[in-house]
């Protein structure tokens, strides 16, 4: 099987080559550009494409891939919001994903982001390097004893709740239309609330852990922000489109938030996973977010651990081998129709 591997970085190549070693059944063609309508032709001659979170697998791109002989779309991530699944099915393209690789990686990063915001690690680091050892402006707050709200409790959300509840002694509440069984929630130190509004009103800190779906897009918006406590800490390590950026900026300007942590951004595809240090950022909303003293932005790095990359490579290769052999693959993604 010939695979066109889009959005290639050195760490992708290293992790996949380490897992498949000298295997001859699958051959990867590593391509640095992201997949879109202009680059889709680079997949010609291959059986499948392997794509990541910011690759474009919308309808027009899928039509080009189909025309070039592609049969399979292999996502090396859990989220599928960048793929038109229904269109893929109509074209006879099979889509597979990596539903779980290392929930601990993202959960630990989310907790680390909460710690950074609540204890101002990032500010202290730069201040001390400049020879300034004053503590003024670095006053923080405990996580212990606070109420932390989780929006979404899949594997990552559950893991985050466990760390915060059992590790830090926080009161962890959660909202999810499809809650975990009671015994699972109890094991992770999580108590469910019936309505999102209750979580927003009670939480001192909020961490988002839900997929990006039509029903969850802009779940954080002007209305929901208005229902949060003043001085709340908000963290998003899931998908950028879960937050309405305009509403977030408005809330920041009105001093609604003590701090905001974002590992994702709804228009991140133009900048994330790229070096723009010698360019002027043309996205005015991103530039505005970066200007706030109480906003901490990282470049979609929560997943980025040795263990997670290894797990992604293993599952992706297993998916592709199952497809190549005509076997049933447990990680096929289907549309809701």
pLDDT single digits (tens) 105-119: 999 999 999 999 999
Helix and strand element counts for the chain (H, E) = 12, 12
Q: Is residue 67 domain-shared with residue 136, that is, in the same domain?
A: no
pLDDT above 90 coverage of the chain, percent: 92
Q: What is the per-residue pLDDT for 336?
A: 77
Q: Lowest-pLDDT range, 18-22, 65-69, 195-199, 220-224?
A: 18-22
pTM confidence score: 0.92
Q: Fill in the DSSP letter of residue 178.
A: S
Q: Is residue 330 part of a domain?
A: no
Q: What is the per-residue pLDDT for 55?
A: 96
Q: Any alpha helices (H) in the chain, and if so which ranges? A: 10-20, 59-67, 85-91, 103-119, 121-129, 155-162, 182-187, 196-202, 222-226, 245-253, 284-291, 306-324
Q: Is residue 91 domain-shared with residue 117, that is, in the same domain?
A: no
Asked about 300 being catalytic, the answer comes back as: yes
Q: Is residue 283 domain-shared with residue 316, that is, in the same domain?
A: no
Kindly state the tokens that stand for 169. Answer: 């002694």
Q: Which of 268, 288, 307, 327 is catalytic?
A: 268
Asked about 239 being catalytic, the answer comes back as: yes
DSSP states of 216-251: TTTSBSHHHHHTSPTTEEEEE-S-GGGB-HHHHHHH
Instruction: Kindly report, residue by residue over 213-269, the tens digit of the pLDDT.
Output: 999 999 999 999 999 999 999 999 999 999 999 999 999 999 999 999 999 999 998
Q: Is residue 80 part of a domain?
A: yes
Q: Which residue has the tokens 């005509």?
A: 326
Q: Is residue 216 domain-shared with residue 251, that is, in the same domain?
A: yes
Q: What is the per-residue pLDDT for 100?
A: 83
CA nearest neighbour of 42 among 4, 75, 95, 16 = 4
**Domain coverage including residue 127:** 103-297
Q: Which of 218, 239, 254, 288 is catalytic?
A: 239
* Other residues' Cβ atoms within 10 Å of the Cβ of residue 82: 20
Q: Is residue 332 part of a domain?
A: no
Grouping H, G, I as helix, E, B as strand and the rest as coil, residue 83 is strand
Q: Is residue 321 part of a domain?
A: yes
If one counts the domains in the chain, the total is 2
Q: Which of 300, 310, 321, 327 is catalytic?
A: 300
Query: What CATH number has the domain bearing residue 217?
Result: 3.40.50.720
Q: Is residue 165 domain-shared with residue 60, that is, in the same domain?
A: no
Q: Which residue has the tokens 């996949």?
A: 16
Which of the pair, 251 or 274, is modelled with greater confidence?
251
Grouping H, G, I as helix, E, B as strand and the rest as coil, residue 175 is strand
């Amino acid at each position: 099987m010939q695979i066109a591997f889009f959005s290639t970085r050195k760490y992708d190549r290293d992790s996949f080559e380490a897992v498949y070693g000298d295997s001859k059944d699958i051959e990867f063609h590593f391509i640095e550009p992201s997949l879109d309508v202009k680059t889709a032709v680079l997949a010609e001659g291959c059986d499948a494409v392997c794509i990541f979170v910011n690759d474009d697998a919308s309808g027009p791109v899928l039509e080009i891939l189909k025309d070039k002989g592609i049969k399979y779309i292999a996502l090396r991530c859990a989220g599928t919001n960048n793929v038109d699944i229904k269109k893929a099915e109509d074209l006879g393209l099979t889509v597979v994903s990596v539903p779980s690789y290392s929930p601990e990686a993202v959960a630990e990063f989310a907790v680390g982001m909460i710690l950074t915001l609540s204890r101002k690690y990032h500010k202290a680091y730069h201040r001390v390097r400049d020879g300034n050892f004053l503590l003024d402006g670095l006053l923080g707050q405990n996580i212990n004893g606070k109420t932390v709200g989780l929006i979404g409790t899949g594997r990552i959300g559950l893991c985050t709740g466990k760390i915060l509840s059992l590790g830090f002694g926080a009161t962890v509440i959660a909202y999810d239309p499809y809650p975990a069984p009671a015994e699972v929630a109890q094991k992770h130190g999580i108590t469910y609330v019936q309505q999102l509004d209750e979580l927003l009103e009670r939480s001192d800190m909020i961490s988002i852990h839900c997929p990006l779906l039509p029903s969850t897009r802009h779940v954080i918006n002007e209305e929901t922000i208005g229902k949060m406590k003043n001085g709340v800490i908000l963290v998003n390590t899931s998908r950028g489109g879960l937050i309405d950026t305009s509403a977030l900026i408005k809330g920041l300007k009105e001093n609604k938030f003590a701090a905001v942590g974002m590992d994702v951004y709804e228009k991140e595809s133009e900048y994330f996973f790229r070096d723009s240090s010698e360019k002027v950022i043309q996205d005015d909303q991103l530039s505005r977010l970066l200007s706030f003293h109480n906003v901490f932005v990282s470049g979609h790095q929560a997943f980025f651990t040795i263990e997670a990359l290894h797990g992604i490579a293993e599952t992706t290769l297993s998916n592709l081998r199952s497809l190549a052999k005509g076997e049933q693959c447990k990680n096929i993604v289907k549309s809701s129709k």
